[in-house]
A and B are shown apart, each in its own frame.
Chain A
Amino acid sequence: PYAGSVESKNEAAMSELVPEPRQKPVVPMKPMGINANLLGYIGIDTIIEQMRKKTMKTGFDFNIMVVGQSGLGKSTLVNTLFKSQVSRKSSGWNREEKIPKTVEIKAIGHVIEEGGVKMKLTVIDTPGFGDQINNENCWEPIEKYINEQYEKFLKEEVNIARKKRIPDTRVHCCLYFISPTGHSLRPLDLEFMKHLSKVVNIIPVIAKADTMTLEEKTEFKQRVRKELEVNGIEFYPQKEFDEDLEDKTENDKIRQESMPFAVVGSDKEYQVNGKRVLGRKTPWGIIEVENLSHCEFALLRDFVIRTHLQDLKEVTHNIHYETYRAKRLNDNGGLPPMTVETEENHESNL
């Protein structure tokens, strides 16, 4: 049980939109297995507490990448998601940094703590994506970066004397920002997602959704979903990784109705109905970021952070990383040699 209410799945309205974490029902003890009849309390269910304590002690890593043209509100959204200044915004038009000539990869790490849980959050920004006149292959540096992190991990893993905990810099989640044109996806969007959905978990989001009315939003989302399907783009949560029926039903709902999330980000607070809320102030009203009737930010936040954070990491580790590793070990050094600029300090046992 964590801070925040837990509603049973049978309650209408709210729980439909906000996927609450599943709580396994307490099953009464019953005999199972080969003649194993439990007659009294052993205490094996304490392993849950033991495990939780251990993981809290080790802490967690989470690496999130944001991709999209400049001005779509990427940094603001990440800051809103994590309620802190984890991403340096390039503010407005009078920023000192010019638009980079090529796609740059900027990874910045911070440590955030909540409820005793320490998380090292790394936000990977991709300035310059889609901003050139000729954007051919601009996803390549991004794909390269992602593969480099897999390579780094692999190198640590095949060491003879390994670290107790291999530092995880692999990209667990990639938020792809779609421009709210209201029409359809751009060729660049399709190309990027086609290439990258095979190596990383992509979560498409419709940025700056406050420029669309509710009907426009619904139609746009439907069109985007259709286009993604037609182009064979599997975004997270991928159908093929649903583990059981429960997962499938839950994820189907998200895939077919909620995604892509139409979001609005803000780090400014306003007074609405006596409460302080994050929002955007316009002459025609205040857009409340965390109000579900205004935009789907809360859905995105709950999805990414409150229910599927661990799953994002597991899919990255068990599937994307394994795919990379299998390919790497199979190829006879077919991949180009990659240089990693961070220091390598492995123990030598010579």
Chain B
Amino acid sequence: IIFQGEGCRTVPLSGHVGFDSLPDQLVNKSVNHGFCFNILCVGETGLGKSTLMDTLFNTKFEGDPASHSQPGVQLKSNTYDLQESNVNLKLTIVSTVGFGDQINKEDSYKPIVEFIDAQFEAYLQEELKIKRVLHNYHDTRIHACLYFIAPTGHSLKSLDLVTMKKLDSKVNIIPIIAKSDAISKSELTKFKIKITSELVSNGVQIYQFPTDDESVAEINGTMNAHLPFAVIGSTEELKIGNKMMKARQYPWGTVQVENEAHCDFVKLREMLIRVNMEDLREQTHTRHYELYRRCKLEEMGFKDTDPDSKPFSLQETYEAKRNEFLGELQKKEEAMRQMFVQRVKEKEAELKEAEKELHEKFDRLKKLHQDEKKKLEDKKKSLDDEVNAFKQRKTAAELLQSQAQQAGGSQTLKRDKERKK
């Protein structure tokens, strides 16, 4: 085989070929397929996570506000089908429920990390399958994590730092200051600086808007400096001037959501959706997922040692694990079967006992009955005997009586005759 691949030279075209339509062909196929985007909102109860999502996507997503009495942190996930022009987006919004409400928050980050890992795991499982359908797989991996910071105006809470540190190698984190209408402009600047420096000093890697493509480098670079975005959410529309706008009305004035002088909502929408959505998806797949996959495979005992045996080792280990699993399954089956047999035996024994008892009782009763019967028969016999005896005596007595009568009669006759004489 002769290959002249690396360092191949550019050749000029003498006319229009037509492969410049390739990006369009690719994009058309993606459009036909539809897109997926998954956002995770992490933040304490009451920071306006649901409202912000409603505002971002201009809809009213379903769901009731959560209470503060959740025993632990849970994640609630909902998927929606959105359509704009010819783009079909399957949007999944995952929110934490009960985050920051517990007295002991040591394990609060765990359900979140587990959830993110579970999505990676599902994808990895599909990827490792022998017969797989990756191009039709509904990607549930989290592409962006919006971390809601409470607008205290001071600094990050330790819960925030701990959680973000645990998440930064697994997901693209975009920190935002929630309900930022609670902070004045000057305090906000100080707050942002404090947050940024705390993140840096704690080594938390938040998502950086990419600056390698000239067309977006400038805007992304500027936006990077505005992080964390101070946002306000509102789905209520108020008449301001002669337009209807999303706003929050206070006695001292009205905060307009889409007014860049009031808050960074527009910046967030611009960055999250209109400029970097694709990059967020790509980073999730090429960086975070690859890291997860690498760690997981190493954990399972794979190594990139022998180039020739890679497909084999993957398969061998897979086979070994499968056999192990099957073996365990068999053992469990055996155990269960034994238990079943045991139970059946016990039940049988019980039943036998009961049967025996019944038989005994029956025998006793039968005997009793027979005794009674015998007694009765004896009594009857004796009575019969008595009756017979009586009858005999009666007949005998009657006979005697009749004899006596005859004799007496004759005597009476005799007496009468004698009298007459």
Binding site for B on A (CB under 8 A): 1-4, 21-27, 29-30, 32-48, 50-57, 60, 62, 81-86, 104-117, 119-120, 122, 145, 154-155, 158-162, 164, 169, 243-244, 301-302, 305-311, 314, 318, 322, 325-326, 328-330, 332-333, 337, 341-342, 344, 346-350
Contacts and interface: CB of A to CB of B under 8 A. Distances in A.
B83 interface: yes
A62 B26 CA distance: 13
Contacts, number: 273
Smallest CB-CB A-B distances: 9 pairs:
A115-B20, A33-B81, A50-B278, A310-B25, A109-B8, A43-B274, A306-B18, A24-B86, A45-B87
Interface residues of B, number: 85
Contacts of A346: 304, 307
Task: Give the one of A46, A109, A119, A341 with max B CB within 10 A.
Answer: A46
Interface string B114-125: 000000000000
A158 B304 CA distance: 9
Contacts of A111: 8-11
Contacts of A115: 20
Interface of B: 1-5, 8-32, 35, 37, 56-62, 78-87, 89, 130-132, 134-135, 213, 215-216, 269-270, 273-279, 282, 286, 290, 293-294, 297-298, 302-305, 307-308, 310-312, 314-315
A27 B58 contact: no
Contacts of A109: 3-5, 8
A83 B83 contact: no
A308 B18 CA distance: 11
Contacts of B35: 44, 47
17 contacts: A2-B20, A29-B83, A35-B59, A38-B57, A43-B274, A44-B37, A48-B31, A52-B27, A83-B17, A84-B14, A114-B16, A120-B8, A160-B298, A243-B32, A310-B22, A322-B131, A348-B304
A39 B55 CA distance: 10
Contact of B130 (A119, A145, A159, A329): A329
Given A54-B282, A117-B22, A154-B311, A112 B10 contact: yes
B16 A45 contact: no
A60 B22 CA distance: 8
Nearest to A314: B29
A65 to B, nearest CB: 12
A46 B269 CA distance: 12
Contacts of A159: 304, 310
A333 B312 contact: yes
Contact of B81 (A32, A45, A301): A32
Given A4-B21, A45-B87, 19 more contacts: A26-B85, A35-B59, A38-B83, A46-B273, A51-B30, A52-B27, A53-B216, A54-B279, A85-B11, A107-B1, A112-B13, A114-B13, A154-B311, A160-B297, A305-B19, A314-B135, A318-B135, A326-B131, A346-B307
Contacts of A328: 311
Given A35-B60, A82-B13, A105-B2, A42 B82 contact: yes
Contacts of B307: 155, 344, 346
Given A43-B273, A54-B279, A81-B17, A169 B5 contact: yes
